[in-house]
Structure 1
Amino acid sequence: MRIDVRRIGGFGAMVCAGIMLSGAASAQVKLIEQAGFPAPDLTNIMNLIADKAGFLKGEGLEVEVRFSTGGPQATQITASGGADIGEVTLEPLIEGYDKGIRGKLFFAEYTRLIYHIAVPADSSIQSIADLKGKKIGVTNMGSASLVVARSALRKSNVPIEADMFRPVGFGDGAVAALRSGQVQALSMWTSAYGSMMKAGMALRFLYHPTVAEIGNGGYFASDKTLAEKRDSLIRFGRAHAKATVFLLENPEAALRMHWKYNPASKPAGTDEEAIKRGMIEMNALLSQYSIERHSDKRYGFTDMDGVRTYIGLFTEEGVISRPVQAQDIATNDLLDEINKFDEAKVRELARSWK
C-alpha cells in the first residue's frame, strides 16, 4: 500500500491522499478512483475490503484511490478524465449535467438515501411535522442534506423560516450544538451520524416521506471511460459487489480490517470495548448497503424510477431549472456481467476471515 499527497492542478484544492490498492504485478490493469471524501475513514470500507480480501487482484486490477474535498470535486476530476472512476453521490451529477458533466453511475453502492434528519433519542420531536418552529443544524449551507431536509419539511407542510437552518459543522461541533439546544435537530448523512453514535450520542431518525428508500451514491465513470474501459469497469464493479457481500456477511471482520490499516481509528479501551463502540458506527452504515429492500437483487442496482423522483426533488427545490433524464446520469447496463460470481464462496471467505 502506498500513500502520497498531491495537489490537483486546476482545482486549487488539496487531495489528501492516494492509496494504491492490491500491490499487484505490472500485468494487472491500473485504474484511478477519485473518492468523494477527504480521508480513509469507515466510508472507505468497500475499497479496503475489495483490496485486502483479494477481490481486486482476482479481477486483474490495481486501483489507486485518491481522496477529495467532496463529491463535486471528485465528479469534476472524473468527468474530465483525471480519474477512471469516481465514488460520489448523485447530486453532483444532477446539478452538473447542465454544466457539461457527462458520465453515469454504473454501480450503486448505497441502496437507500444517506441523507436524513436526526434528533436526540429522548427528544419530544416524533415526526417531521414536529419540526415546526425548530432549528436544524447542517454542516454548511450548501449541503445536499439541506436540500433534502427542506423538501421533507415542505412535503410535511412545515413552514420553512429564514433562520431555520444553521451551519454547525459536523462531529463534535454538531453534537455540541444539539446538546446545548442551539439546534433541535440535525440534517446530515449516515456516516456522520455513525461517528456521533460511536462517541456516545444517542440519536433517533426522521426520514424523507418519498425518497428515503432511493439509493443516491456509488461508482461513476465518464461516458468516454464507459465506452473505452467497459471490461475494466465490470471487473471493478464485480470486486465491489464481492466486497458488499463480505461486509454484510461479517461486519466485525470488516471493522477489524479497517482498524488494522487505520489503527488510529480504533477506540480506546479493551478489545471488547473497542468492538462494542466500533460496531455502533458500523451497524449504522450497514442498512445503506443491504439489497433486501429491492425487488432486483443484483448488487449495484440503481432504481431508475427512484432516480427520476430524486431529480424531481431538485427541480422542485429550485436547485436545477431543467430536469435531467435519469438515463443520462445512471445505468444498469453492466450489472449482469458484474454479478457473475459465486456469492456463496464469498460468504464463506467472510465467515472464516481472521
Structure 2
Amino acid sequence: MKSMLTKLTASCLVVATLSMADAAKAQEPFRFAWPSAINSGVAPLTFAEALGFFEAEDLSLELISLTGSGVIIPQLTVGNIDAAYSGLEPAVLSHQPDNPDLGIYFVYNFIPNSIWEMVVLEGSDIQSIEDMRGKTIGVLALGSSNVITSKAILQSKGIAEDEVTFQAVGVGAAAYQALISGQIDVLNLFDTAHSRLELSGTAIRRLEYPEGFSGSSHGISVARATYDEKPEFFGKFGRIVAKANLACAANLEACIRSYWEAYPELAPAEAERGEAMEREKFVLTSRLENLLGEEGQYGAFPEGDWLNLVAALEAGGLVTDPDVPLNRYYTNDLVPMFNDFDPKEVVRLAEQAE
C-alpha cells in the first residue's frame, strides 16, 4: 500500500509540475523598452504585475532600459524588443523625402499630454525661449527624440540649430548639478525629473512652449511588420497599460510599494520610507495627470495632435512634406481592445491592494 501511495504521490507531483510548466510556458514574454534608467515611472507596470493583469493576458513583462530613440529604434527593427515607450517625432521624420523608412509604428498613446519641459534656475536671465540664443541646453541623451522637437521649437522662434549647444547630461543628480553649477543654462528633461529637482530644494522656472508642442508626446512604438503579423499581441499589452494607469491613480501608495518590491535595490531604507513615499507621490501625481486620457478611449491618438506635430516640425524646418498620410505613423484600430475591461473592477482591485 505504501509503495502504491508513493507511486501515486510521485505521479501527482509529476502532473502538478507539468501543469505549472505548461502555465509558465503559456505566458508569452513581452519585451518593453524604457527610455531611461528604471525609475518610479514604471510603477504602474509593476502594480499591473502585482494585481495579475499580465497573468490574465498570458503575458509576462520584461522591462529593458534603453536610453534614447537612437538606441531604441534599431532594437525594434531587428526584433530584440517587442515595443517601446518612445517619442513620436522619428515616425514623422522617417517618412520625409530622402529619409530612410525606419519601419516603426505607434499603436498606443502613452502620454496624451506632453511630459517634456525646458526649465531654468529661478534667478536665470532667460525669461522665454527667445532668450536661448547662445545658450547650452542639457538633454537626457543626444539621441533622445525630444531633441528633434526642441530644435524645432527653437527654429520656430528664429534660433538656428548652430546658435545653441545641446549637451547630454543624463537624468538625476548629474543633470541637476549641471544646471546648478552653470555648466548648462537650460535643462530639457521631463516632468518627473524636474519635480525631483524641485523636491531637492532648487527653485526653477518652466519656460512656456509654443502652441502645437504640448499635445501627445510619447506612444508605444512597434515594428510595423510585427504589428501586421500579430496585432492582438499588442492589443493585450495596451489593455494592461490602460488598466495599470487607472489602478495606480486609484491607489498611489500601493502602486509605489509595488515598484519598491519589484526593484528592492532602488527602494529606500525602511526608516526612510515615510518621507520617500511622500516624495514619490508628489512626483507621480504630475505624471499620472499626463498619462490618463479619456475613459473608454485609453490609448487613442487624436488626429489633431499628429497634425500639430507635423506642423510644428515643419515650422522648425524638419518637415518638407507635411502631406504624408497620417496612417503611416499610427493606428487607433486597437483602441476598442485596449478599453475592453470594467474600469470599476480595476479600481476595486487597486483599492484592496496594500
TM-score bucket (shorter structure): 0.7 to 0.9
Does the C-alpha gap of structure 1 residues 74 and 182 become closer, same or farther in structure 2, counting only changes over 3 Å? closer
Partner of 2:327: 327
Query: Distance between the aligned counterparts of 2:274 and 2:70, measured in 1?
Result: 39
After TM superposition, give the deviation of residue 163 of structure 1 in Å. 4.8
Code of the residue aligned with 1:306 in structure 2: it is: D
Partner of 1:223: 224
* 1:54-93 equivalences in 2 (<5 Å): 54-93=52-91
Does the C-alpha gap of structure 1 residues 39 and 162 become closer, same or farther in structure 2, counting only changes over 3 Å? closer
Does the C-alpha gap of structure 1 residues 176 and 103 become closer, same or farther in structure 2, counting only changes over 3 Å? closer
Code of the residue aligned with 1:52 in structure 2: it is: A
Does the C-alpha gap of structure 1 residues 161 and 234 become closer, same or farther in structure 2, counting only changes over 3 Å? closer
Query: Distance between the aligned counterparts of 1:214 and 1:329, measured in 2?
Result: 16
- Counterpart among 256, 281, 284 of residue 282 in structure 1: 284
Please state if 1:291 is matched with 2:308. Answer: no
Partner of 1:266: 267
Code of the residue aligned with 1:67 in structure 2: it is: S
More strand by share: 1
Partner of 1:243: 244
TM score, norm. by length of structure 1 = 0.80
Q: Is the 8 A contact 2:142 2:168 kept in 1?
A: no
Please state if 1:301 is matched with 2:300. Answer: yes
Q: Is the 8 A contact 2:69 2:145 kept in 1?
A: no
After TM superposition, give the deviation of residue 162 of structure 1 in Å. 4.1
More helix by share: 2
Please state if 1:188 is matched with 2:184. Answer: no
Q: Is the 8 A contact 2:133 2:164 kept in 1?
A: no
Q: Is the 8 A contact 2:196 2:283 kept in 1?
A: yes
Unpaired runs of 5+ in structure 2?
1-20
Partner of 2:211: 210
After TM superposition, give the deviation of residue 36 of structure 1 in Å. 4.0
After TM superposition, give the deviation of residue 327 of structure 1 in Å. 1.2
Code of the residue aligned with 2:178 in structure 1: it is: A
Partner of 1:342: 342
Code of the residue aligned with 2:343 in structure 1: it is: E
Does the C-alpha gap of structure 1 residues 102 and 138 become closer, same or farther in structure 2, counting only changes over 3 Å? closer
TM score, norm. by length of structure 2 = 0.80
Does the C-alpha gap of structure 1 residues 80 and 316 become closer, same or farther in structure 2, counting only changes over 3 Å? farther
After TM superposition, give the deviation of residue 262 of structure 1 in Å. 1.7
Kindly, what percent of the aligned residue pairs are identical?
26
Code of the residue aligned with 1:337 in structure 2: it is: M
Query: Distance between the aligned counterparts of 2:209 and 2:240, measured in 1?
Result: 32
Does the C-alpha gap of structure 1 residues 121 and 351 become closer, same or farther in structure 2, counting only changes over 3 Å? farther
Please state if 1:49 is matched with 2:78. Answer: no
After TM superposition, give the deviation of residue 255 of structure 1 in Å. 1.3
Code of the residue aligned with 1:341 in structure 2: it is: F
Query: Distance between the aligned counterparts of 2:250 and 2:122, measured in 1?
Result: 28
Match of 2:291, SS?
coil
Code of the residue aligned with 1:33 in structure 2: it is: R
Partner of 2:14: none
Partner of 2:11: none
Please state if 1:94 is matched with 2:92. Answer: yes
Structure with more relative contact order (C-alpha pairs < 8 Å, separation 6 or more): 2
Does the C-alpha gap of structure 1 residues 184 and 83 become closer, same or farther in structure 2, counting only changes over 3 Å? closer
Q: Please tell me whether Structure 1 or Structure 2 has the larger radius of gyration of its CA atoms.
A: 2
Query: Distance between the aligned counterparts of 2:182 and 2:303, measured in 1?
Result: 40
Question: RMSD of aligned C-alpha atoms?
Answer: 2.9
CA deviations over 1:219-268 (Å, ceiling 9, x no partner): 22223322321222222111111001012222222111111222333345
CA deviations over 1:309-337 (Å, ceiling 9, x no partner): 21333344344554443211211111012
Of the structure 1 ranges 279-288 and 318-327, higher mean CA displacement relative to structure 2 is found in 318-327
Match of 1:109, SS?
strand
After TM superposition, give the deviation of residue 100 of structure 1 in Å. 2.7
Q: Is the 8 A contact 1:34 1:74 kept in 2?
A: no
CA deviations over 1:49-97 (Å, ceiling 9, x no partner): 2222211111222333333243333222223333332332213323334
Code of the residue aligned with 2:246 in structure 1: it is: V
Q: Is the 8 A contact 1:131 1:158 kept in 2?
A: no
Of the structure 1 ranges 246-255 and 333-342, higher mean CA displacement relative to structure 2 is found in 246-255
Partner of 1:17: none
Q: Is the 8 A contact 1:194 1:282 kept in 2?
A: no
Unpaired runs of 5+ in structure 1?
1-22
Match of 2:340, SS?
coil
Q: Is the 8 A contact 1:79 1:102 kept in 2?
A: yes
Partner of 1:18: none
Match of 2:105, SS?
strand
